[in-house]
Structure 1
Amino acid sequence: MAETVHIAQMAEKLSDELFSEFFWEKVGPTNQNWPCEDKEHHSTETHPSDVVFFYDEPYSQVRTYVNCDLKSYAKDSIKPSAVRGAVESLAKQVACAEKSDDWRNLYVHDHVSPEICGLLFVYNHDGEYDKSFASQLTSIKTDKLDLPKDTKLVVLGPEDVFWLDNVRYEIRQMRGSSGADRLPDREHCQYFYPQLVRKANVQEEKAKAATLEMLTAPWIILQYKKPKSGDRRGVVVFYRRDGSTTQEFMYLIDYLRHYQVLGEDTDVQIKTLDTAPAAHATFQKAVQQYIEEMGDGNGDNDLATVVKAIKYSKMTQVISTFSSIELGMDYE
């Protein structure tokens, strides 16, 4: 029993370290049970909240509250039945949290418009899971879940957790670097949300966190100001796709140009993790092709200058592991 508790603590510890780097904040008690609002339908007296995080949305005056179910599974425990049961239970939690005064009193701030969603966080604590996690989700009938309309429920499987953990690690490494790629302190950093035609970034100064949508997107963009360099702007694009085609890199470059990320006053880096062997060479070809197609043909113009200045590098892969013995000796 004690070992099971310590294994569960691994997911809690990792989620804490991981989401704090994406500017999520914790609120209220952890590992808290609260009364079910639909006991007959849900066949339970209470629901659990392992932890609740919150962040402000960039495109609306809303604060998102993420009710988390944290799972720490060994390779052989990651099965469709276990994942389906966890998703169905989390859906019921979110459905009740939407109408629970008890849950709101525990977790929701009085001065905001809240939006509640669910997150199933599946951490493979032995690091041996090597299958596609998507296959574990095929038996889940999303239209049968007891989930309020337009409410999000997101599942982060081992591959997603591995990716986000590596982004977290890279950010910390860059913040401690003494080189040109050094990141400034957190107060000078925020995640990038462009001003869209139909969606203005209405909380640009306040909404600095990476949303669930960004964390599950093909790339995560962190922007920062360099306080000792005349507030020169820096942008780091953490790129999740495999980089096997010039077209995908050209699309990324075009996105950066369209939303005015590229500029003479901005340093841009693209960082990848698990890519095709020739991804770096493919990126170089994409840069050359983009300049030829979008420029005046001679490659000697402002667009060519800023596109050529984009730096590309690969992150070092890490796997976060925890000792159940060490967690059991944490008396503080």
Structure 2
Amino acid sequence: MAGETSNISQMANKVSEEIFKHFRWECLNLKDENFPCAKPNKHSTKDEYTHPVDVVFYYTDPYTNKRVFFNADLKSYKRDSINPSSIRNALRSLAKAIDCARVSPVWRDRYSYMQDEQPEVRGMLFVYNHDGEFHKHFYSYIRPPDDEGKKRGVNLGKLPLEKNQQIHIVDPKLISYLITIVNDMKVLHFDGTFPKKNYSFFYPDLRLHKTHGESSSRPATIEMLTGPFLIIKHEVAKRFDESTGEQIGEYPMGFVVYYNRSGSTHHEFMYFFDMLSNYQLLESGLKIRVRVACDECSSEMISNFSKAIDAYSQAWGFDGYKKGLLQEIEIERVETVKKVFSSVDIGWRDS
């Protein structure tokens, strides 16, 4: 039983590393460490109180050019263990941990390697459902700060979260979405239509913020991963004969867009087209493939996509050429993937 419990605790760690490495997040080797509380009078009545750190992920934000650290709490829960009480306890613990991490010399020595700067430390609650049986809406357990009624759930206003501090929740549905993207990238690579390494996450230059660094090294930020779509620009994908090493084909440079909405109305696709236009992707001359990775995809998705092309073209008075650019966009649904572990051997299987 002890071995099985230990294996279960490793599942979220294994899944999180497998996911985030494909989005160019870095992971520090120190894991499952505690650090002493720097504010014991505030956080506990115990004389010697420590905060847990399952793992620390980090990346350099493409807009601010500053490193962002995620003090992560990795939970591997079966269906019935995901409830308001467990979520509340985890969020409270995380809030205290990142409050201390900002000022703790121990935390900085171990994780940030930046003694001359104030590190940006955020919390991340990673809730992995290892039996694949959790089908509820996770955020139905979350209450807004101004909800003072008797409704069950986690009242965000009651969390000990300090000003300018953030906690990101990676819930089972988001984990499934990210696993689906990673799996689909591998499938496209196997098919010879997506390169193994030569791809970059697309960041437009904004009016007030410009991007930094080489595009090929930029990570997919947490804001990008939790958004309605994820845009990836890829270079030419080359196929080789394994026996001779000779190139036998190639797929042109282009964009793959992972879409995380249901496609239940044509209006959401009109907004999507507007975004593509504003980012100047429509007239880039590059192929655009939309991969719908939502587990609640509408059966009318393709119909609504076509309807949106007509409506958008009419609204903007597009000529046949520009309408043709929209019609060249490929759209396809991607089957949602879940990873379900065996607690005996920590081997996962698709579900």
TM over 0.5: yes
Q: What SS does the corresponding residue of 1:289 show, helix, strand or coil? A: helix
Question: Mind listing any 5+ residue stretches in structure 2 that lack a counterpart?
Answer: 144-152, 239-248
1:163 Cα deviation (Å)? 1.3
Indicate whether 1:320 and 2:339 are aligned: yes
Looking at structure 1, the residues matched to 165 and 338 of structure 2 have their Cα atoms a distance apart, in angstroms, of 32
The change in CA–CA distance for 1:231 and 1:65 in structure 2 (over 3 A counts) is farther
Which residue does the alignment assign to 1:164?
A: 178
In the superposition, the TM-score normalised over structure 1's length comes to 0.90
What's the CA shift for 1:48? 1.2
Q: By how many angstroms is 1:206 displaced?
A: 6.9
Tell me whether 1:125 sits opposite 2:125 in the alignment.
no
TM-score (norm 2): 0.86
Give CA-to-partner distance per residue, 1:205-261, whole Å, 9 cap, x none: 475111111111111111122276999641111111110111100100110110112
Residue 5 of structure 1: aligned partner: 6
- 2:142–2:156 contact (8 Å) kept in structure 1: no
* Aligned partner of 1:145 among 143, 150, 159: 159
Contact in 1 for aligned 2:194/2:237 (Cα 8 Å): no
Do residues 115 (structure 1) and 120 (structure 2) align? yes
- Checking the alignment, whether the CA contact within 8 Å between 2:24 and 2:217 is kept in structure 1 is no
Query: Which secondary structure state, in structure 2, belongs to the residue aligned with residue 64 of structure 1?
Result: strand
Distance 1:304 1:86 in 2: 50
**What is the correspondence of 1:170-185 to structure 2 with a 5 Å cutoff?**
170-178=184-192, 182-185=193-196
Letter in 1 for 2:304: T
User: Which among 80, 87, 97 is matched to residue 83 of structure 1?
Assistant: 87
**1:97-140 CA-partner distances (Å, limit 9, x unpaired):** 11111111111133877311111000111111111111222233
The 3 A distance-change label for structure 1 pair 232 and 151 is farther
Unaligned runs of 5+ in 1: none
Matches within 5 A, 1:8-87: 8-43=9-44, 45-87=49-91
Secondary structure of the residue that 1:324 maps to in structure 2?
coil
Distance 1:157 1:104 in 2: 28
Identity rate, percent: 36
Matches within 5 A, 1:221-300: 221-226=231-236, 233-273=253-293, 274=295, 275-296=297-318, 299-300=319-320
Spell out, residue by residue over 1:64-96, the C-alpha distance to the aligned partner (whole angstroms, 9 max, x if none).
111110001111111101110000001111111
Query: For the structure 1 residues 316 and 227, does the alpha-carbon distance in structure 2 shift closer, same or farther, using more than 3 Å as the test?
Result: closer
Task: Describe the SS at the equivalent of 1:318.
Answer: coil
Among 270, 283, 308, the residue aligned to 2:327: 308
Q: Secondary structure at the match of 1:196?
A: coil
1:28: Cα distance to partner? 3.8
1:189 aligns with 2:199: yes
| Root-mean-square deviation (Å) | 2.1
Which whole-Å CA distance do the structure 1 matches of 2:166 and 2:23 have between them? 19
